[in-house]
């Protein structure tokens, strides 16, 4: 049994195929969706998406968004979605290190919460890209 997975970003449809299963980074932890999953909707955080097509396993880094699961139809709406083969690992690593350095610099200073969250977001994005790229 397969599920219909559609990944939509503002820049276009990133993925639209029948797959075996998909693992998504929900705000309350990662969750997997198989055929016959309960109908629900949830917010997603920046992280890694894993798609099992049956023939292969695909990894992608996704940013914040939400997902809808409805009778074997899964719709994922995210700001960006990059598949492992599209990610330049070296650049992703550099970005992750830079983001980490920025975060550490902030520790101890009483800079605004806004900036901290911004850095945090940049860091988790970078980490998601690195892990996706390494696995793929």
Partner 1 sequence: MPNLKDIKRRIGSVKNTQKITSAMRMVAAAKLRRAQDAIIAARPYAKRMYATLGEIGKRQTDAEHVLLQPHEQLRVLEVVVVTSDRGLCGGFNSYALKAASKVIEEQGAEFDRIVVTAVGRKAAEYFGKRTDVVRAWTGMATIEYANAVEIAEHLSARYEAGEIDGAVLVYNEFISAMTQTPNADTLLPLSVEEEVGEAGETVVPFEIEPDANALLNVLVPQALEFAIYRALLENQAGEHAARMTAMESATRNSEDMIQSLTLQYNRARQAAITKELVEIVSGAEAL
Q: Which residue bears the tokens 């690195």?
A: 130
Q: Which of 2, 28, 36, 27 is nearest to 16 (CA)?
A: 2
Residues in 95-124 that interact with partner 1 by CB under 8 A? 114, 118
**Interatomic CA distance for residues 6 and 73, integer angstroms:** 8
**Interatomic CA distance for residues 129 and 102, integer angstroms:** 18
**Interatomic CA distance for residues 62 and 39, integer angstroms:** 22
Q: Is 35 one of the binding residues for partner 1 (CB under 8 A)?
A: no
Binding residue for partner 1, selected from 2, 77, 89, 103, defined by CB under 8 A: 77
Q: Is 42 one of the binding residues for partner 1 (CB under 8 A)?
A: yes
**Interatomic CA distance for residues 77 and 68, integer angstroms:** 8
Q: Which residue bears the tokens 């960006």?
A: 80
Q: Is 40 one of the binding residues for partner 1 (CB under 8 A)?
A: yes
The residue among 37 and 93 lying less far from partner 1, judged by its C-beta, is 37
The residue among 28 and 56 lying less far from partner 1, judged by its C-beta, is 28
Binding residue for partner 1, selected from 18, 43, 94, 101, defined by CB under 8 A: 43
By CB under 8 A, which span of 41-49, 54-62, 103-111, 127-135 interacts with partner 1? 41-49
Antiparallel, parallel or unpaired: β 3-9 and 73-78: parallel
Taking the complex as a whole, the smallest distance from the CB of residue 100 to partner 1 amounts, in Å, to: 20
- Interaction site with partner 1 (CB under 8 A): 8-13, 26-28, 38-44, 64-66, 68-70, 75, 77, 79-80, 114, 118
């Amino acid at each position: 049994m397969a599920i219909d997975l559609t990944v939509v970003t503002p820049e276009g449809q990133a993925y639209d195929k029948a797959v075996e299963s998909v693992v998504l980074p929900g705000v309350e932890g990662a969750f997997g969706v198989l055929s016959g999953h309960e109908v629900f909707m949830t917010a997603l955080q920046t992280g890694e998406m894993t798609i099992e097509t049956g023939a292969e396993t695909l990894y992608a880094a996704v940013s914040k968004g939400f997902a809808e699961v409805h009778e074997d139809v899964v719709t994922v709406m995210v700001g960006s979605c990059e598949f492992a083969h599209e990610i330049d690992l070296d650049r992703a690593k550099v970005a992750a290190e830079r983001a980490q350095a920025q975060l550490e610099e902030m520790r101890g200073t009483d800079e605004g919460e806004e900036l901290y969250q911004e850095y945090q977001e940049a860091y988790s994005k970078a980490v998601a890209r690195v892990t996706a790229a390494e696995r793929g």
